[in-house]
């Protein structure tokens, strides 16, 4: 009988090629704390380069928005059929990216996939900050930002309510719910780590972490309550994440603009959301791994698993994309078919074909192990896949609006002005800035969950709970059981 992890590996090695380990099981527990707390201290210089560049981009976005606020939406070069442009396209893109953070932190938690443990924390933070970024676009695209609160159902003396029939109201509600719950989920998952930070910090940071760790002492009762809360929130978040992007898709599916009015939009949007989110998790994985020296925790086998997941999500998205084309092509809706032909052959054809290439063909490179094992290649792959997914959102918005039902209003030659591009760039700056600040202030790798992972790797031959609790296999349990009986 094999008892330890190493012996299992030897036993397996005789029959199979050994698999690379997700994480080295020999890391000392004190070293985990030390390594991860070091990310709060002094990162590589690239951190400041990214941070300052992001801040500059953010200022560009702010100045464009101020100009647009003062002058009117005409400076964005939106026009009458093309009323939404890049704003709504980028809004869908940002809000979609958040879904993969929830996938990693909630779904894989429920499914006991323990390789998520070193990377779920920053993914969940990414979810929160992408939602904050997406919320910016909801405001930016409004004609009168200063009256955005009309969309919220608040009590007032005139008994005016938002129009609950409108998908935009569902949207605002869904995003608000998702933002609140994912923020809560991020925070609750962080409490044990904040306690570790508290025990190691001095000065103002000590006060911050003391306040935020809510008196966490690590007692049995606290852990039990923590587990239940975390699992409950994970179970709550999973259907919520699916519903949020489905509701975002009803903004389009519920309208009667040809090219929007498509039944398969909800699953299509969710698949695209998870796809682009996984790609951005890979990008951030590579950036954080280098910036904060997380090489021992964000290992290559985990990157490879992420790449495989991205490929799977990409294929689901491709399938749903082709379904959309097929149902439109063979359907009886003349206008929708015309809109599809317009996208493929009209003035947006280069972007449309590039979108299909980057989204559906490029991920096939991920089937090669050499691609998955190379960090620079993966960085470029993830960025290009995300660019393809951004194009997809743009190709949903702009060509469709340019080519509606009524031929008199067809409008081919509108190109987003520098104000639109500036605000889109500013949103990148805003997101990166927030995310980098987060990683500098809070532990972006979950210390206690990495320890759990190592514990399982060290003492149990598999992550199967039933096997791990079997005293015949686990010598520690056997001794305890003997004493108890």
- What's the CA gap between 207 and 201, in Å, rounded? 9
Q: How far apart are CA 379 and CA 449, in angstroms?
A: 26
Using an 8 Å Cβ cutoff, are 467 and 460 in contact? yes
Contact at 8 Å (CB) between 310 and 317? no
User: Helix and strand tally (H, E) in the chain?
Assistant: 19, 0
Q: If we measure between CA atoms, which residue out of 241, 251, 95, 245 comes closest to residue 165?
A: 251
Judged by beta carbon, residue 80 or residue 219, the one nearer other proteins is: 80
164 in helix, strand or coil? coil
Nearest approach, Cβ of residue 71 and other proteins (Å): 7
Residues 6+ positions from 278 with CB-CB distance below 8 Å: 100, 103, 306, 309, 310, 313
Nearest CA to 382 among 368, 398, 363?
A: 363
Nearest-approach distance from CB 400 to other proteins, in angstroms: 9
Q: CB of 155: closest distance to other proteins in angstroms?
A: 11
Nearer CB in complex with other proteins: 301/347: 347
Nearer to other proteins among residue 114 and residue 171 (C-beta): 171
Smallest gap from Cβ 121 to other proteins, in A, equals: 35
- If we measure between CA atoms, which residue out of 372, 357, 359 comes closest to residue 313? 359
**Site of interaction with other proteins (CB under 8 A):** 71-74, 77-84, 141-144, 147-148, 150-151, 159-163, 165-169, 172, 251, 254-257, 260, 401, 404-406, 408-409, 411, 414
Place of tokens 């995310």: 435
Q: How far is the CB of 65 from other proteins (least distance, A)?
A: 14
Question: What's the distance, CA 423 to chain centroid?
Answer: 21
d(CA 368, CA 113): 23
**Of 84 and 290, which has the nearer Cβ to other proteins?**
84
CA neighbor of 311 nearest in space, from 365, 268, 261, 242: 365
Look up residue 90 and give its two tokens: 């980028």
Nearer to other proteins, 24 or 156 (CB): 156
Q: Smaller CB distance to other proteins: residue 41 or 413? A: 413
Q: Which residue lies nearer to other proteins by CB, 140 or 436?
A: 140
The length of the chain in residues reads 485
Shortest Å, Cβ 174 to other proteins: 13
Rounded to a whole number of angstroms, the minimum distance from the CB of residue 336 to other proteins is 12
Q: Quote the least distance from Cβ 246 to other proteins, whole Å.
A: 17
The residue among 148 and 329 lying less far from other proteins, judged by its C-beta, is 148
């Amino acid at each position: 009988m094999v008892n330890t992890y190493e012996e299992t590996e030897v036993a397996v090695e005789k029959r199979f090629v050994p698999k690379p380990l997700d994480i080295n099981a020999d890391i000392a527990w004190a070293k985990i704390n030390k390594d991860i707390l070091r990310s709060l201290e002094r990162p590589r210089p690239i951190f400041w380069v990214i941070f300052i560049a992001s801040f500059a981009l953010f200022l560009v976005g702010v100045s464009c928005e101020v100009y647009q606020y003062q002058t009117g939406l005409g400076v964005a070069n939106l026009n009458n059929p093309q009323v939404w442009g890049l704003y709504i396209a980028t809004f869908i893109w940002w809000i979609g990216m958040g879904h993969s953070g929830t996938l990693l932190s909630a779904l894989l938690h429920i499914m006991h996939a323990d390789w998520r443990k070193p990377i779920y924390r920053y993914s969940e933070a990414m979810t929160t900050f992408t939602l904050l970024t997406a919320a910016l676009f909801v405001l930016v695209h409004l004609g009168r930002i200063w009256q955005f609160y009309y969309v919220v159902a608040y009590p007032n003396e005139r008994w005016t309510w938002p129009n609950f029939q409108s998908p935009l109201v569902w949207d605002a509600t869904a995003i608000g719910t998702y933002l609140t719950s994912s923020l809560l989920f991020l925070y609750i998952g962080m409490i044990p780590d904040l306690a570790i930070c508290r025990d190691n910090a001095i000065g103002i940071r000590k006060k911050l972490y003391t306040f935020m760790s809510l008196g966490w002492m690590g007692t049995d009762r606290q852990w039990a309550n923590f587990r239940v809360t975390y699992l409950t929130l994970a179970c709550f978040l999973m259907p919520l994440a699916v519903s949020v992007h489905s509701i975002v898709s009803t903004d389009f599916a519920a309208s009667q603009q040809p090219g929007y009015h498509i039944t398969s939009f909800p699953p299509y949007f969710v698949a695209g959301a998870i796809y682009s989110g996984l790609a951005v998790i890979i990008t951030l994985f590579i950036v954080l791994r280098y910036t904060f020296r997380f090489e021992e925790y964000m290992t290559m086998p985990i990157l490879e698993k992420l790449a495989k997941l991205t490929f799977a999500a990409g294929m689901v998205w491709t399938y749903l994309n082709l379904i959309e084309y097929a149902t439109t092509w063979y359907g009886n809706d003349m206008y929708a078919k015309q809109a599809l032909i317009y996208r493929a052959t009209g003035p947006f054809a280069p972007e449309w074909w590039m979108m299909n290439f980057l989204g559906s063909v490029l991920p096939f490179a991920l089937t090669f192990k050499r691609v998955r094992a190379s960090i620079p290649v993966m960085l470029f792959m993830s960025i290009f896949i995300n660019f393809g997914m951004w194009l997809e959102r743009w190709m949903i918005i702009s060509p469709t609006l340019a080519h509606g039902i009524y031929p008199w209003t067809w409008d081919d030659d509108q190109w987003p002005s520098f104000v639109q591009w500036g605000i889109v760039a500013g949103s990148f700056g805003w997101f990166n800035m927030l995310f980098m600040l987060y990683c500098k202030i809070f532990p972006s790798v979950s210390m206690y969950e990495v320890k759990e992972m190592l514990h399982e790797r060290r003492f149990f031959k598999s992550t199967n709970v039933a096997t791990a609790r079997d005293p015949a296999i686990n010598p520690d349990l056997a001794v305890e059981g003997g004493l108890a009986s």
